[in-house]
Amino acid sequence: MRTLAAAGLACALLSSAAAKERYPFQNPALPDAARVQDFVARLTLEEKISLLSGEDNWHLPDIARLGVRGLIMTDGPAGLRSFQSEPSTAFPVGAAAGATWDAGLIRREGQAIGEETLGHGVDLILGPMVNLARVPVAGRNFETFAEDPVLGSTLAASYVEGVQSTGAGAVLKHYAANNQENGRNSGDSVVSERALREVYLSAFGPVVENAKPWAIMTAYPHVNGVFASENPFLLKEVLRRDWGFRGVVMSDWTGTHSTAPAMNAGLDLEMPGPAVWFGWKLQQAVAQGQVPVARIDEAVGNIAALMLKAKLFDPDGRKTGALNTEAHRDVAERVAEESIVLLKNRDGLLPLDAAKVRTVAIIGEPADRPIFQGGGSSQVVPYRVVTPLEALQQRYGARVEFVYAQGFDNEPHVPAVDPRLLSPSAARGEIGLHAVYYNDADFKGGVAFERTDNYFLKFGFGGKANAVDWTKMPQGLEAAYQTRQNGTYQQALWNAGIGFSVKWTGLFFAPKDGTYQFSLVHGDTARLVFDGKTLLDDTAPKYPSPIFKFFPSLSERHAEATLKAGQSYPLEIDFSATPTSEINYDQKVFQFGVRLPRPDAAEAIAAAKSADAVIVFAGAGSTAEAEGEDRSSIDFDPAQTALIEAVAAANPRTAVVVNEGAAVTMPWDGKVPAILDAWLPGQEGGTAIAKILFGDANPSGHLPITLPKRIEDSPSHLMYSGGAHQVYNEDVFVGYRYYDKLGIAPAYPFGHGLSYTSFAFSDLKAPSSVKPGDPVAVSLKVANSGAREGSAVVQLYLRNDAAPVPMPLKALKAFTRVTLKPGETRSVRLTLSPRDLSYWDDQEHAWVEAPGSYTVMAGASVEDIRASAPLAVGAK
Ligand code: BGC
């Protein structure tokens, strides 16, 4: 196992070597280009090729001969996912960030994440993600900002600027047209050039041009028949030529599919390593003249420029960053707060007045166990999770009595254990279990480290596969290389790694009487000894587990035990990560799950009946939204819907808080007066929700996606399949552009969001005519016409009647947030660029600003246009 201490030592050695400034590339006084050139010139061809693929999942190799450490990268985007399962601040997911419409705040979030990246000793964070939410069921919609490219790219650019202001680098992903999970690895996204340019690529272009991310990650699927990672149109024409991208192009993990075609198309870096297509094969391709040496030098030059920015050539200049600061928690809470969308508020049910309500029933599992993030590579180990119930108690518990009833078990699969039910000791001073990590797979190789672990959904922990010397290709592996199937070669290399083992011990405190279900999910071997009995081991029956959706072969083992409330039970878990894993990945996964006895709906209904108001927390469970698989539906479990309806019938003063990262249907909408969409709000989300419910914060979130009444209404529905071929026939009519054009009423439109105050928009001014190529200055007045301070989001839409192609009735072009005191009025200025007035001409392969008539509209949502003005563009 590469322990953190060992990595630190390697850095120290490398840094003292570099401090001597033996070579010109180590001299900060020289121009950057000269330093990069000097570094590249000193490398042998083998060293150059070694820098064009990972050494493992997250590291590029050191060039020890020159005293240079290799780049280190790891996942984002909603906080840093440490590959050692170390904690980071868990920020709200991308969709929540999208709902803030607040570029300044997302810049601060990026800055906090950049500081944490450096704090973990990492150079590059794999985010932000800007693949638009095209398909409502797509598994990763929670990770991205929006269904609209202007909103998505504006916020992503702010995020990148924030990260990179700290000295860490951002990796914009996944370029491009990866808009669903099913079929993603081999799929083909068939999209017109116009839809690509106007919609999907427009989510990336402004980020590349304005924020200059250090790297970009290619998408998994083919785009119009060619894998994104070897697609000359995407990489050469658009990215490098049109947008002037100067950074590194890396593949998504195992998303490289060829040697010369990928390298020659512009892919610089195969990830992860050890290399399957670059490395040894690339060396051969160079020797055979299939890849010019000049292209290798160009790719290494891009990597070297990134190493320079990451201060690997002058490590003493590298900033140390910061972890888990109050400022980071504040930003996480602020993003959560600004993201919450007040969808409806009949008769002003919200906010609740803590001086007036005496008893509030809190119903639903997400109040006590919030779903704070989605699953997959973006999954962060949080420092803490503030639950809505805790925050309500803490902030208002002195004045209001909160009565909690779970009401409904919304977890289709046994969820990760609630760590609050575990402690290393009877005194319950700490939550979690005592963990001893060993340096081998058999608990014998010496203790690597000990700590208290309090998060038992572990995706990636433990170690690093041994580096493989690809220049000395062993015979057997070479054969596997030739007949590469399902990653056999890579698995063989990873299997050369070393194992590790962990023993967790402590007590489980049962909160109520009844039958508990225990589960272990893992790819290696694991055992649970509970109250002196072996409850689970590898001989127990196993079931396929959907907990880690990319690993369909993972097994889950279940057992039950009947426990008594208030009693504690000793437990021990042994996990052994052998080098030969069942799963084809060198990172280990593990979940210890516990399901509490089934709740009683009658108890929830009774609590609702006798309360002054009710808040229901609804969600589809902690495994519903994850990378690797699309959701099966956008509807909640019918039993949850029935509970919401029964509660609302018992008490009409019922508000629902929706805890989801993507579109859901709300068949109970007509039965409740108030709904908040709170997304997957990160570790501080509970506080934000509590403040909004009681009016200590005023809702200001606006939908970054359309919420349809039913999946059948959505633009991609007719073409969606779980398979490989995705035809984007709705073309540019993505998201709201489709509902608006066809007059299909959604449940809640894009851009919608209410406030506890009200805003008036007036005096929209735009020039009546402009020359082509001129920017268009637009101004309007926004007034707070209500009684509380609040923030309005002004959305500027454009209708283009001049273009000779079908156009949306409205397309978002610019937006801004304004915070106003009651009675305050402010002037807002926004500018439309010539590009905003253009459409993509598929025949000319160019942006065209057509002469003719346009309409500029200012709205509080795409369906709530408050002011408009005509605009004419003259002939050239
Ligand atoms: C995901 C990427 C992620 C990478 C590394 C891939 O499966 O698509 O978003 O950065 O894995 O974990």
Of the listed ranges 114-123, 434-443, 589-598, 848-857, the least confidently predicted one is 434-443
Q: How many CB atoms lie within 10 A of CB 816?
A: 17
SS3 readout for 819-860: EECCCCEEEEEEEECHHHHCEEECCCCEEECCCEEEEEEEEE
User: How far away, in angstroms, is 52 Cα from ligand 1 center?
Assistant: 18
Q: Which two tokens stand for residue 198?
A: 């106007």
Predicted TM-score (pTM) of the model is: 0.95
Ligand 1 atom with minimal separation from the 81 CA: 12
Of the listed 102, 252, 368, 836, which one is catalytic? 252
Q: What is the pLDDT of residue 501?
A: 86
Q: What is the pLDDT of residue 424?
A: 98
* Euclidean distance between CA atoms 775 and 753, whole angstroms: 29
Query: What percent of the chain shows pLDDT beyond 70?
Result: 92
Nearest Cα residue to atom 4 of ligand 1: 253
Residue given tokens 């600003």 in the structure block: 849
Nearest Cα residue to atom 9 of ligand 1: 377
> What is the best residue among 171, 377, 587 to mutate for testing ligand 1's pocket, by most ligand atoms within 8 Å of CB?
377
Q: What is the pLDDT of residue 12?
A: 45
Any atom of ligand 1 within 6 Å of the Cβ of 58:
no
Any atom of ligand 1 within 6 Å of the Cβ of 748:
no
- The residue type of 112 is A
Any atom of ligand 1 within 6 Å of the Cβ of 694:
no
Q: Are 676 and 755 in contact (CB under 8 A)?
A: no
Any atom of ligand 1 within 6 Å of the Cβ of 836:
no
Summarize pLDDT for 15-72 with one digit per residue, the tens.
444 445 799 999 999 999 999 999 999 999 999 999 999 987 888 999 999 999 999 9
How long a stretch of residues is the chain? 876
Summarize pLDDT for 300-312 with one digit per residue, the tens.
999 999 999 999 9
Query: What percent of the chain shows pLDDT beyond 90?
Result: 83
Of 679, 753, 751, which Cα lies nearest the Cα of 90?
679
Any atom of ligand 1 within 6 Å of the Cβ of 736:
no
Ligand 1 atom with minimal separation from the 143 CA: 9
Q: What is the pLDDT of residue 580?
A: 53
Summarize pLDDT for 708-751 with one digit per residue, the tens.
999 999 999 999 987 778 999 999 999 999 999 999 999 999 99
User: How far away, in angstroms, is 306 Cα from ligand 1 center?
Assistant: 20
Confidence of residue 555 (pLDDT cuts 50, 70, 90): confident
Ligand 1 atom with minimal separation from the 272 CA: 5
618-to-605, 636, 659 alpha-carbon distances in Å: 15, 8, 6
Any atom of ligand 1 within 6 Å of the Cβ of 126:
yes
* Euclidean distance between CA atoms 508 and 505, whole angstroms: 10
Of 416, 413, 460, 454, which Cα lies nearest the Cα of 433?
454
Residue given tokens 């978002």 in the structure block: 812
Any atom of ligand 1 within 6 Å of the Cβ of 17:
no
Any atom of ligand 1 within 6 Å of the Cβ of 726:
no
Any atom of ligand 1 within 6 Å of the Cβ of 377:
yes
Confidence of residue 486 (pLDDT cuts 50, 70, 90): very low
User: Mean pLDDT throughout 862-873?
Assistant: 97
User: How far away, in angstroms, is 254 Cα from ligand 1 center?
Assistant: 9
Any atom of ligand 1 within 6 Å of the Cβ of 252:
yes
Ligand 1 atom with minimal separation from the 127 CA: 10
Q: What is the pLDDT of residue 482?
A: 47
* Euclidean distance between CA atoms 308 and 305, whole angstroms: 5
> What is the best residue among 142, 253, 378, 586 to mutate for testing ligand 1's pocket, by most ligand atoms within 8 Å of CB?
253
Give the CA-trace dihedral at 468, 473, 476, 481, to 10 degrees: 90
- The residue type of 769 is S
Ligand 1 atom with minimal separation from the 377 CA: 12
User: How far away, in angstroms, is 252 Cα from ligand 1 center?
Assistant: 6
Q: What is the pLDDT of residue 85?
A: 81
Does the structure show a pLDDT above 70 at 582? no
Give the CA-trace dihedral at 715, 721, 725, 728, to 10 degrees: 0
User: Mean pLDDT throughout 455-471?
Assistant: 64
User: How far away, in angstroms, is 272 Cα from ligand 1 center?
Assistant: 10
Summarize pLDDT for 653-680 with one digit per residue, the tens.
999 999 999 999 999 999 999 999 999 9
Any atom of ligand 1 within 6 Å of the Cβ of 585:
no
User: How far away, in angstroms, is 57 Cα from ligand 1 center?
Assistant: 10
Ligand 1 atom with minimal separation from the 126 CA: 10
Ligand 1 atom with minimal separation from the 184 CA: 8
Q: How many CB atoms lie within 10 A of CB 24?
A: 16
Catalytic site includes residue 696: no
Nearest Cα residue to atom 6 of ligand 1: 253
Nearest Cα residue to atom 8 of ligand 1: 252
* Euclidean distance between CA atoms 11 and 490, whole angstroms: 27
* Euclidean distance between CA atoms 828 and 288, whole angstroms: 61
Q: How far is C-alpha 373 from the geometric centre of its chain's CA atoms?
A: 8
Any atom of ligand 1 within 6 Å of the Cβ of 75:
yes
Confidence of residue 579 (pLDDT cuts 50, 70, 90): low
29-to-20, 166, 256, 524, 702 alpha-carbon distances in Å: 14, 21, 37, 51, 48
What mean pLDDT value characterizes the chain? 92
Q: What is the pLDDT of residue 550?
A: 76
Summarize pLDDT for 147-160 with one digit per residue, the tens.
999 999 999 999 99
Q: Which two tokens stand for residue 105?
A: 């705040």
Nearest Cα residue to atom 12 of ligand 1: 377
Q: What is the pLDDT of residue 587?
A: 61
User: How far away, in angstroms, is 729 Cα from ligand 1 center?
Assistant: 27
Any atom of ligand 1 within 6 Å of the Cβ of 173:
yes
φ/ψ of residue 647, rounded to 5: -65, -45
User: How far away, in angstroms, is 360 Cα from ligand 1 center?
Assistant: 42
Ligand 1 atom with minimal separation from the 171 CA: 10
User: How far away, in angstroms, is 175 Cα from ligand 1 center?
Assistant: 12
Any atom of ligand 1 within 6 Å of the Cβ of 253:
yes
User: How far away, in angstroms, is 839 Cα from ligand 1 center?
Assistant: 33
User: How far away, in angstroms, is 271 Cα from ligand 1 center?
Assistant: 10
Of the listed ranges 14-18, 207-211, 715-719, 809-813, the least confidently predicted one is 14-18
Q: What is the pLDDT of residue 478?
A: 52
**Terminal CA-CA length for the chain:** 66
* Euclidean distance between CA atoms 682 and 664, whole angstroms: 19
Any atom of ligand 1 within 6 Å of the Cβ of 181:
no
User: How far away, in angstroms, is 84 Cα from ligand 1 center?
Assistant: 16
User: How far away, in angstroms, is 217 Cα from ligand 1 center?
Assistant: 9
Any atom of ligand 1 within 6 Å of the Cβ of 178:
no
Nearest Cα residue to atom 7 of ligand 1: 253
Any atom of ligand 1 within 6 Å of the Cβ of 145:
no
Please list the helix, strand and coil fractions of the chain in percent, rounded to the nearest 5, in that order.
30, 25, 45
- Output Rg (C-alpha) for the chain, integer angstroms: 27
User: Mean pLDDT throughout 779-798?
Assistant: 98
Of the listed ranges 10-24, 530-544, 583-597, 857-871, the least confidently predicted one is 10-24
Does the structure show a pLDDT above 80 at 584? no
SS3 readout for 74-110: EECCCCCECCCCCCECCCCCHHHHHHHCCHHHHHHHH
SS3 readout for 732-756: CCCCHHHHHHHCCCCCECCCCCECC
* Euclidean distance between CA atoms 504 and 437, whole angstroms: 9
Nearest Cα residue to atom 11 of ligand 1: 253
User: Mean pLDDT throughout 850-854?
Assistant: 97
